[in-house]
Amino acid sequence: MNLKRSKAEAIFGFFNICFLLFLALITLYPFLYVTMASLSNPSSLASHSGLLLWPLGFNVDGYISVFKNPNIITGYTNTLIYVVVGTSINVIITSLGAYVLSRKGVMLRDSIMMMIVFTMFFSGGLIPNYLLVKSLGMFDTMWALILPGAISTYNLIIMRTSFAAIPDSLEESARIDGANDLTILFRIVLSLSQAVIAVMILFYAVAHWNSWFSAMIYLRDRGAYPLQLFLREILINSSTDSMITGSGGSDKEAVSEIIKYCTIVIATLPIIAVYPFLQKYFTKGVLVGAVKG
Amino acid sequence: MKGKLGMVSALSLSVVLLASVLTGCTSNATKQTSTSEKNEASLSSIPLPIVNKPITLKMFVPMDAKVAATMKNYNEIAVFKELEKRTGIHIEFIHPASMDGAAIKEQFNLMVASGDLPDLIYYNWINDYNGGPNKAIKDGVILPLNDLVDKYSPNLKAFMNSDPKANKQLRTDDGTIYVYPEAQSPNQYAKVNPNPNPAFQTFGWQIRQDWLEKLNLKSPETIDDWYEVLKAFKTKNPSGSGKNDEIPLAPKGAGDLQNWVRAWGINYGFYHDGDKVKYGPYTPEYKDALTTLAKWYKEGLIDPDFGITDAKQFDTKVMGNRAGSWTGSTSGTFGRFVQLMKAKDPSVKLSGTVPPYVKGTKSYNFNVDEIKVASGGGVAISAKSKYAKEAAMWLDYGYSPEGSLLNTFGIEGESYKMVNGSPQLLPEITNNPKGLSIDEALSKYSRGSGGLAFVMTPEIWQQRMALPEQQQIIGLWKAGSYDRTMPPGVTPTIEESTKMASIISAVNTYRDEIFSKMIMGQVPISEFDNYMSKLKGMGIEDAIKIQQAAYDRYMAR
Amino acid sequence: MPAARISSLKGERTMENMTVSEAAHARSVYQTKKQSGIVHRLRRDLYKNRIIYFMALPVIAYYIIFQYIPMYGASIAFKDFSPMKGIWGSTWVGMQHFTEFFNDVYFGRILTNTLLISIYNIIFGFPAPIILALLLNEVRKNDVFKRFVQSVTYLPHFISVLVLCGLIVDFTARNGIINDLLAFMGLERITMLLEPGLFRTIYVSSNIWQEVGWGSIIYLAALAGIDQDLYEAATIDGAGRFKQMLHVTLPGIMPTIIILFILRMGSMMNVGFDKIFLLYNPVTYETSDVISTYVYRKGILEANYSFSAAVGLFNSVINFVLLVATNKISKKVNETSLW
């Protein structure tokens, strides 16, 4: 029986790996396409159709052009600041909220939960928020990009679910030892929740990294624009002239296609690079078992 | 004697003086505007400088992409620097941070909602402001300009008087002027530099001239001609590849193909036949159009994938030597392909054709014609501006000959020079040493490549369209009659506009579906009567009535 | 153990999971039952949990300031919004926009399409990341491979919709890869995006393609939180891989799955605009035209802020009702729910 099972398991294991490999390859393709396109020759790319697995005529002009644009450096710096400050605030305040909402014996808990979830569905829309931000004096400052989105209710719910799954016994034994809620939160709950905190950091950081809309409506000072806003400008400009001087006779549209792909790579590479660092927190069982007892 | 007379005259003099001072005071008090001394007679020309003490006016205007490529703010453009020098008025430009249409609307709404109106606002009041320009005035966003124009805008007044069409297009149905428009005038240098094609055509039919020549065909004019030409393209291997992969008619999306109904004298939307407003897809001629196009599709003369051909695929088909004909714009499509294909293969020749027509009828053009006053778009003066008068004068300067020249061509000696009395762009623009295109280079000096609120001389179009091929096709495309084109600026009343939008959005959805499906053969042409009754059920006849009323009001302005 | 654990998630106090001190406390409360009114219970609760409520203050403040104060803006769905008059000053029109919306010729069709696409998305798209997470979890010994797959599968999430749709158009084109495959198998070539019957399939499949990796991250994190001892115990009991998956892994991440499912039901009406807009076509309107795209086309004809707000409110109400209903059902069926 054991032999039969382990043979079945081995076959399953083999097909599993094949399937996952296949999945990895097809999900890799879009990014591969974008990267290869960004390194290709403009006119070759324009007349190409079908799969793109390697650059058509290796060409880094697109990247050179983009990096020559002084806005890119400004954009990167600003975005980095917004991501770090924003994500920190996000994680702190979301953890507070998740902790509070995961405690038992708190009378108002369910009502607060309902009121919070309600806001996921009903909101005032752009204009009241805009007026609010203005009246709070946050217009044209970093805070307009960070505070209105300080908590994502979706993330809050996920974190709460995770906090609630921590065994009560730990909390109780801590209380007996005289700990109050703050201690419990910091010493116990957070240290056991590294996986979900890693997820929160990832989600919030990515959201900040990709955001451009708030910046567009709330920022006037171009020196404070995040990267994505500059990239959008570049893409919308049908002739990104400041970057392609000297290409007099060639097809501006094809060149701007290449630049589009370069900007996508430039914009997503850093955030993709973050993930492997957070990955180690998803390794199973490393932490829960260690703290048990 | 002297003493008494002296006293009487002194007394009467002082009475007169007092009276005039008093009337002067009251008449000043009743006038809303502030600084000028000429507040009774209308201006006959704009004095320069306009103000003695420099003032700042704020203007909301989306940045043209060609400018944004090199500059951060319109104030860097030479024309505005020069304008400030001449008029003494500094403009503080407020540019929305994003240039796509929806974002601009969003920012406009926010700006108004927060009450921060600048003095001047560039916006499309017909298309983008809910309720149209009438509502914008009623809502207290912008000022009705009739008075201001009458008193402080002599040049705009002259322009309007010179062309009744322009006059109508600037106003709402009740005659209120709401905007300083982007306008084009008849060629003011025509006497000095006559050109057979003074006006600009943005769009038209394009074809592989070299294929026609190879197959010994003449340029098609009627639908029957086109049928012969397309069949020949398909069967006679004009590309020389032998692969039978020619696509005789390669529309870029269904929208391109929809232009073809014009050959039957109808538009794919509203148009007018004499005084009567009609809706093209609700006419018997539409059935003929669909029948012919369906036949062409069945015989493989139209790209089977026309419905989903996007820009990139279209490029591939043209550059890949497979597309035989299409419709498109003058510079973006035609100009581009001429340059690109010549670079690859000098034997390739592109040309245009006259707008096709059914034999026995005539060729109709449904694009806007020469004297184009951009429908609904232009600079309005905000109701909250404290400098309405100065704004009116500053804007009006753009409609004067000097202002027009400055705004269109830029700075004499830097971007253009006068040759025999007519302006010619300098090599700095036409052959920019840094490799900028004409439009990009021009954008550093003037608004001749994009417009704002001034009169543009058509001279500039000829010089922007550098290629001889472009000049030639413009001539061909203008051959169509403009008699049936719906003029820009025909708008329903505020009350009717919601109903109209409701009906038309359903009608357009259905219309677009049936168009593609009947041509592709998915729905048989025999269903046409059902289609007509369904349109009727959606309320198309009410919509036509509303549009007719709007048209009548427009004509009566 | 599982029953008590689950009930403790919901804060229920039963004899099994009370400690000695709490039982004593409960008795004393019962004895001093004279003041058992709600207000007094609340006061006691506020005192007892004062630190918790104190910690909750920034969170509550956030929601009040940034979510509830601006909420008056939702009223523009019932008004004829005029930017100059502002939201307060605009005229009240009651249900006019809603009536206009419901009476539209195509209302039925766009509602059906929205719901169908959403439901297909849930049926196929919801389990996909879970399955992926479970499969990854089953990769034994080969950690490098596992991390490689994890790091790659979430990449499409970052590729903009524009690029992704360009790829989809390429693949499904008449001479694209998928058609090449069909031709190879002797079938006829079709332009897939012009077939109404194929639209939902293409849309949902490409959604899965783009989101399965990113969506699996949460489940992987949840898997990381399962007590390893349970697996050891199961192995000792003789359970093989599959039994372990059924009895340890799945129950371990079930709270996460259920909560995410409830939230998913609360986004039923949110069929994203961008992707449909880039893939649809008048020829496929009958299956592809959804509420957001129809309203968009309408908005081109008449820039009516209030109308789109009304449609948005309609969507939100349906979403909210679905969420509440799903939450209630979930509460009855098992112990996990939002409240």
Rounded average pLDDT per 10-residue block, chain B, 557 residues: 46 43 38 42 79 89 77 86 90 82 83 87 86 85 90 88 79 86 68 51 86 92 94 89 87 91 93 92 95 95 89 84 88 78 85 90 76 72 90 90 87 88 84 76 83 78 74 79 82 83 91 95 94 95 94 86
For C126, other C-beta atoms within 10 Å of its C-beta total 16
Number of H helices, E strands in chain C: 19, 2
- At residue C198, the 3 state secondary structure works out as helix
ipTM of the complex: 0.86
Does the pLDDT value for residue C119 go beyond 50?
Answer: yes
Q: Does B100 touch chain C (CB under 8 A)?
A: no
Distance between CA atoms of residues B499 and B518, nearest Å? 28
Task: Find tokens 């009337």 and name the residue.
Answer: B23
Is A81 exposed, middle or buried (CB count within 10 Å of its CB: 0-12, 13-18, 19+)?
Answer: middle
DSSP annotation string for C13-70: --GGG--HHHHHHHHHHHHTTT--SHHHHHHHHHHHTHHHHHHHHHHHHHHIIIIIGG
| B381 Ramachandran zone, left/alpha/beta (phi>0; psi -120 to 50) | beta
What is the C-alpha R_g of chain C? 26
Mutation for B interface: C192, C302, C306, most B CBs within 10 A? C302
What is the C-alpha R_g of chain A? 25
- B177 secondary structure, DSSP code: B
In the prediction, which pLDDT does C11 show?
A: 45
Q: Does A262 touch chain C (CB under 8 A)?
A: no
In the prediction, which pLDDT does C24 show?
A: 67
C285 contacts on B by Cβ (under 8 Å)? 509, 512-513
Encode burial over A141-173: b for 16+ CB neighbours within 10 A, e otherwise. Answer: bbbbbbbbbbbbbebbbbbbbbbbbbebebbee
Q: A236 vs B98: CB contact, 8 Å cut-off?
A: yes
- At residue B434, the 3 state secondary structure works out as coil
CA distance A216 to chain B (A): 5
In sequence order, which ranges of C270-304 are alpha helices (DSSP H)? 273-279, 285-288, 291-301
Please choose, from the candidates C50, C94, C98, C103, the residue with its C-alpha nearest in 3D space to the C-alpha of residue C75: C94
- Summarised one tens digit per residue, pLDDT across range C208-220 is 999 999 999 999 8
Distance between CA atoms of residues B161 and B142, nearest Å? 23
In the prediction, which pLDDT does A116 show?
A: 95
A 147-186 near C (Cβ less than 8 A): 147-148, 150-151, 154, 157-158, 161-162, 164-165, 167-168, 172, 176, 180-182, 185
Mutation for B interface: C84, C174, C288, most B CBs within 10 A? C84
DSSP bridge partners of B416: B412, B425
| Residue pair C94/C78 in contact by the 8 Å Cβ criterion | yes
User: At a CB cut-off of 8 Å and minimum separation 6, what does A40 contact?
Assistant: A52, A55, A56, A57, A58, A59, A258
In the prediction, which pLDDT does A182 show?
A: 82
Q: B130 vs C303: CB contact, 8 Å cut-off?
A: yes
Q: A251 vs B336: CB contact, 8 Å cut-off?
A: yes
- Summarised one tens digit per residue, pLDDT across range C144-172 is 888 889 889 988 998 888 888 988 988 89
Q: C139 vs A17: CB contact, 8 Å cut-off?
A: yes
CA distance C297 to chain A (A): 20
Distance between CA atoms of residues B144 and B152, nearest Å? 14
In the prediction, which pLDDT does B449 show?
A: 74
Distance between CA atoms of residues C128 and C212, nearest Å? 6
Q: What are phi and psi of B58, to 5 degrees?
A: -100, 140
Compute the mean pLDDT over every residue in chain C, rounded to the nearest whole number: 86
End-to-end CA distance of chain B: 66
User: At a CB cut-off of 8 Å and minimum separation 6, what does B445 contact?
Assistant: B77, B78, B79, B409, B410, B411, B414, B415, B429
A222 contacts on B by Cβ (under 8 Å)? 72
User: At a CB cut-off of 8 Å and minimum separation 6, what does B337 contact?
Assistant: B206, B318, B319, B350
Give C1's pLDDT tier (boundaries 50, 70, 90).
very low
As a whole number, mean pLDDT of residues C191-206 equals 93
Q: A237 vs B69: CB contact, 8 Å cut-off?
A: yes
Closest partner residue to B98 (CB to CB) among A134, A216, A222 is A216
C288 contacts on B by Cβ (under 8 Å)? none
The CA-atom distances, in angstroms, between B81 and each of A238, B89, B180, B200 are 26, 10, 20, 28
In the prediction, which pLDDT does A65 show?
A: 77
CA distance C149 to chain B (A): 32
Does the pLDDT value for residue A224 go beyond 60?
Answer: yes
| Residue pair B355/B476 in contact by the 8 Å Cβ criterion | no
Give A283's pLDDT tier (boundaries 50, 70, 90).
low
DSSP annotation string for B292-343: HHHHHHHTT-B-TTGGG--HHHHHHHHHTT-EEEEEEEIIIIIIHHHHHHHH
For B242, other C-beta atoms within 10 Å of its C-beta total 7
Q: C221 vs A282: CB contact, 8 Å cut-off?
A: yes
Closest partner residue to B440 (CB to CB) among A49, A239, A246 is A239
In the prediction, which pLDDT does C334 show?
A: 86
Helical (H) or strand (E) element with B93: strand B89-94
Please choose, from the candidates C148, C281, C166, the residue with its C-alpha nearest in 3D space to the C-alpha of residue B311: C166
Distance between CA atoms of residues C276 and C293, nearest Å? 8
DSSP bridge partners of B180: B379
pTM for the model stands at: 0.84
Please choose, from the candidates A106, A226, A211, A67, the residue with its C-alpha nearest in 3D space to the C-alpha of residue A152: A211
Q: A127 vs B109: CB contact, 8 Å cut-off?
A: yes
| Residue pair B369/B360 in contact by the 8 Å Cβ criterion | no
B 177-206 near C (Cβ less than 8 A): none
Q: C301 vs B109: CB contact, 8 Å cut-off?
A: no
Could you tell me what percent of chain A has a pLDDT over 70? 87
User: At a CB cut-off of 8 Å and minimum separation 6, what does C59 contact?
Assistant: A93, A96, A97, A100, A151
User: Kindly report the CA angle at C237 between C232 and C238, in degrees rounded to 5?
Assistant: 100
Subunits with 3+ Cβ pairs within 8 Å of A are: B, C
In the prediction, which pLDDT does C316 show?
A: 94
Distance between CA atoms of residues B27 and B307, nearest Å? 66
> Residue A30: closest CA among chain C residues belongs to which residue?
C156
In the prediction, which pLDDT does A288 show?
A: 40
* SS percent in chain C: helix, strand, coil, step 5: 75, 0, 20
DSSP annotation string for chain A: -HHHHHHHHHHHHHHHHHHHHHHHHHHHHHHHHHHHHHTS-HHHHHT--S---S-SS---HHHHHHHHSHHHHHHHHHHHHHHHHHHHHHHHHHHHHHHHHH-SS-TTHHHHHHHHHHHHH----HHHHHHHHHHTT-TTSTHHHHSTTS--HHHHHHHHHHHHTS-HHHHHHHHHTT--HHHIIIIIIHHHTHHHHHHHHHHHHHHHHH--HHHHHH---GGG--HHHHHHHHHH-SS-GGG-TT-TTS-HHHHHHHHHHHHHHHHHHHHHHHHHHHHGGGSTTTTHHHH--
> Residue C80: closest CA among chain B residues belongs to which residue?
B130
B497 contacts on C by Cβ (under 8 Å)? 302
Structure token digits, residue A37: 């396109």
Task: Find tokens 């950690």 and name the residue.
Answer: C143
Closest partner residue to B506 (CB to CB) among C84, C87, C104 is C104
Subunits with 3+ Cβ pairs within 8 Å of C are: A, B
In the prediction, which pLDDT does B120 show?
A: 93
C10 contacts on A by Cβ (under 8 Å)? 104
Encode burial over A179-206: b for 16+ CB neighbours within 10 A, e otherwise. Answer: bebeebbeebbbebbbbbbbbbbbbbbb
Q: Which residue type does B28 have? A: N
Please choose, from the candidates A164, A169, A156, A271, the residue with its C-alpha nearest in 3D space to the C-alpha of residue A211: A271
CA distance B540 to chain A (A): 34
| CA torsion, ordered B264, B270, B273, B275, to nearest 10 deg | 180
Please choose, from the candidates C205, C218, C209, the residue with its C-alpha nearest in 3D space to the C-alpha of residue C136: C218
- C155 secondary structure, DSSP code: G
User: Kindly report the CA angle at C75 between C74 and C77, in degrees rounded to 5?
Assistant: 85
For residue C305, how many C-alpha atoms fall within 13 Å in the half-sphere facing its CB? 29
Q: Does B379 touch chain C (CB under 8 A)?
A: no
Could you tell me what percent of chain C has a pLDDT over 90? 46
Q: A16 vs C51: CB contact, 8 Å cut-off?
A: no
B437 contacts on A by Cβ (under 8 Å)? 239, 241, 252
Q: C193 vs B308: CB contact, 8 Å cut-off?
A: yes
Does the pLDDT value for residue C109 go beyond 80?
Answer: yes
Q: B310 vs C169: CB contact, 8 Å cut-off?
A: yes
CB pairs under 8 A between B and C: 98
In the prediction, which pLDDT does A153 show?
A: 94
Closest partner residue to B110 (CB to CB) among A127, A229, A253 is A127
DSSP bridge partners of A56: none
Q: B110 vs A217: CB contact, 8 Å cut-off?
A: yes
In the prediction, which pLDDT does B1 show?
A: 41
Subunits with 3+ Cβ pairs within 8 Å of B are: A, C
C265 contacts on A by Cβ (under 8 Å)? none
In the prediction, which pLDDT does B554 show?
A: 86
Q: B316 vs A134: CB contact, 8 Å cut-off?
A: no
